[in-house]
Amino acid sequence: MHHLFRLIRLPRETSYCVALTFRRLCSTQDNVEPKKPKQAQKGTAKSKQHQPLEGEGDVINEPKKLKGEGKKKTQAELLAEHVAQEPAAVQKLLQQFDAQLNKSKPNPETFYIINESIADSVVRHLSGHSLDIPHLELGPGPGVLTRRLLEAGVRRIVGFETTSAFQHCVRMLSEQTDGAVRLTPLNLMHLSKFYGASAHGDDSRVLKVVDGLEHRDWTDEPCMRLVGVAHRSVFFQFLVRTVISRELLFQFGRPELLVYVPEAEYARLTAGPTMAGRVYRPYSIISRMLFDLEELDRVPAKHFYPWVKPRRKVEASGSDMVLIRYAPKADPGVPEAELHNLDFFVRHCAVSRTRRIIQQMEEWVPGCGPRLIALGHGVFAPFRELQPQQVLEVFLEFTKWPEYPACSFHAAVQQNVLGGEPELADSEHQLAEDDQHEEPPEHFEPQQYR
């Protein structure tokens, strides 16, 4: 086009710009949609509807959707609908403590039991168990579970509460019961942080946690009982680590937990080799070796407050909270002197889904493959295919071999104690997606694992 304007002796730049503008105008006119015919006015003949073909059936005119129909409900709307269905006592507490309970939070520090039927389920499972031991309540809140424990005959309750409004409730109960209820202004879910700080000289919070606890022999009845809601996986990982060294709560004997846990955490604590790789890990294996776990009850998570604000577009509070009894075994079948070696053995061998039994064991004791094959283990069988009890049997068989006292396994254990192994550190990141809502333990020593 610009060549045409060159014929009339226009400058090259001017002719090119005029041609480009003309081309754009032409393309704009081509893209203009034709005008739609006017709709028939009232009283005129109606437009012909689609005539059904033979066998097509009658034409069904679908009704128009109302405005807002089919729209997903917001978190606030779901919460309001649920609160309206709660018992009157629960609604009263939600109104009284609106700022603390009646909101949706992305990562609540504490979950509170404010439904009397849920508290009754905890107390009901105390039947036949000792009531004269200290009961450490995780987040007593307005005191619904605390009152039920007092009515059941418990006379030593330590309430771990950090919210000022609920601390006032605990103090009132303490005055009414002549000191049977005592307030400790800490969050026991951060026990690993308190332990890490004590290793760096600040043991004030650890001393508050263990204040008033009495020692019992390991084989005796539980020395204390934790009740409430334990929702953080880091807390259970810390228990599994410290039970090996008999530190903190375990220095007084065997503590028992009667707590509600999220369904996801219950899956980790009971995981087996048939479950997904992200769930069945060293943490689960050690837990099943050293702890007894019993499922007692299940309650929809929406009955615990405050609600968790979902990170994804799913219906809020769709899972359950599981009431469990969780306590260390009086006799796990392993000598106490070998617990640290067992801990390293499991973490090292089960850190990867592809680590093979015979290949790994022959690194420590060359030529031991035929012994393991005689026990029924395949040449290429990985550790992750074994149940926790089978892993324990492999370790106990390992300790009976004459090469065990002088093999390179002990050097690997010592190296891990002094400096840690890179592969164990790398394994920490493989489960990061499972616990994005949880804070890592502060100054947690020795190295945490999952």
Q: Are 441 and 248 contacting, i.e. CB atoms less than 8 angstroms apart?
A: no
Q: Are 322 and 298 contacting, i.e. CB atoms less than 8 angstroms apart?
A: yes
Instruction: Centre a 10 Å sphere on the Cβ of residue 70 and count the other Cβ atoms it contains.
Output: 6
| Closest-CA residue to 398 (of 365, 367, 373) | 365
Is 161 annotated in a binding site? The answer is: yes
CA distance 261 to 322: 5
| Closest-CA residue to 393 (of 334, 321, 330, 319) | 334
Q: Are 410 and 418 contacting, i.e. CB atoms less than 8 angstroms apart?
A: no
| Closest-CA residue to 185 (of 201, 204, 199) | 204
**Residue 47, C-beta contacts closer than 8 angstroms, at least 6 positions apart:** 40
CA distance 387 to 289: 10
CA distance 425 to 393: 26
Q: Are 6 and 13 contacting, i.e. CB atoms less than 8 angstroms apart?
A: no
CA distance 4 to 25: 17
CA distance 350 to 391: 9
Report the SS3 class of residue 224. Answer: strand
- Burial tier of 385 (Cβ tally within 10 Å: 0-12, 13-18, 19+): middle
DSSP structural state of residue 112: B
CA distance 292 to 395: 20
CA distance 445 to 377: 35
Please give the helix or strand (H or E) that residue 148 lies within, else none. Answer: helix 144-152
CA distance 235 to 261: 11
**Residue 179, C-beta contacts closer than 8 angstroms, at least 6 positions apart:** none
**Residue 143, C-beta contacts closer than 8 angstroms, at least 6 positions apart:** 169, 170, 173
Q: Are 419 and 398 contacting, i.e. CB atoms less than 8 angstroms apart?
A: no
CA distance 404 to 396: 11
Binding-site residues, please? 113, 139, 161
| Residues that constitute the known binding site for S-adenosyl-L-methionine | 113, 139, 161
